[in-house]
Homo-oligomer: A and B are copies of this chain.
Amino acid sequence: MGELGLPDLDPTSDRPVFKQIADHLRAAIDGKELAPGEKLPSESQLIGHYDVARMTVRHALQILQSEGLTVAEHGKGVFVRSRPPVRRLASDRFARHHREEGKAAFIAEAEEAGVKPSVDSINVTESKASPEIASRLNLSSDDSVIIRARRYLLNGHPVETATSYIPASVARGSQIAQTDSGPGGIYARLEELGHRLDHFTEEIRARMPLRDEARALKLAPGVPVFHLIRTAYDQAGRPVEVCDTVMSSDAYVLSYELPAR
């Protein structure tokens, strides 16, 4: 434990012991006595310091973990999580000039930030629209959609999964139905097909990841995800794409600009 001066327990308090320990450690993290990346005292050290059972210190550590303040690494120790707000979605990220330069939004943004973008698990299928998607795309329930699923990585680390739904009547036969959607991404293809894009709407939720999501994004415990549903409209006012994305909240800061009108 060394120089880290953790206080003693307050036996008069009715605050549970494990919460008191969590409080002490949290204060040390907040006060930078434990810097990001630094190793916390091991379970045995905490047991020795506080003279409590192992389960009690584990419970305390688990709280910090569920708050996203720490990560445990099997066999090594528990470490203060470093939270670099790495990436930021600018509200002009779908500006047309990016597409005209032949770059999809994700690629353009990542390169600007100086990190190496990549995409994997690209999977393109066609099937009937789910009720949710049909409603957003203004389709009836037996219309078909092209479904493009993929995963985005930065410097090899997964940060986002995305699934796009495009009405089959719009995209069938085009490069949108191919694995490689070509330069500028599917938005460039949609414009070539005569659907000049007018605006997007985005709905943002925050929640804890499901098991599959945590695995696909390699999320540490206690990290929530953004769940963003974007709908693209062409200038005729017709919805031409719905994109359902799940993003690690560690990797993103979303950024928007609103007019005061």
Asked if residues A201 and B260 are in contact (CB atoms below 8 Å), the reply is: no
Which residues of B are found within 8 Å of A4, using beta-carbon distances? none
Which residues of B are found within 8 Å of A224, using beta-carbon distances? 206-208, 224, 249
Among A223-253, those with CB < 8 Å from B are: 223-226, 232, 249, 252-253
Which among A90-98, A145-153, A159-167, A175-183 touches the partner chain? A90-98
Q: Closest CB of chain B to A59's CB: distance in Å?
A: 10
Contact of A253 among B203, B208, B260 (CB under 8 A): B203
| CB-nearest residue of chain B to A260 | B197
A211 within 8 A of B: yes
**Total copies of this chain within the assembly:** 2
A67 to B204, CA, bound (A): 18
Asked if residues A257 and B226 are in contact (CB atoms below 8 Å), the reply is: no
Contact of A258 among B94, B210, B221, B222 (CB under 8 A): B94
Asked if residues A203 and B96 are in contact (CB atoms below 8 Å), the reply is: no
A10 to B229, CA, bound (A): 37
Q: A200-B258, A202-B256 are in contact. Are A249 and B92 (CB under 8 A)?
A: no
* A23, A68, A201, A256, most chain B CB atoms within 10 A: A256
Which residues of B are found within 8 Å of A33, using beta-carbon distances? none
Q: Closest CB of chain B to A58's CB: distance in Å?
A: 11
Asked if residues A66 and B67 are in contact (CB atoms below 8 Å), the reply is: no
Q: Closest CB of chain B to A195's CB: distance in Å?
A: 11
Which residues of B are found within 8 Å of A208, using beta-carbon distances? 66-68, 222-224
| CB-nearest residue of chain B to A22 | B211
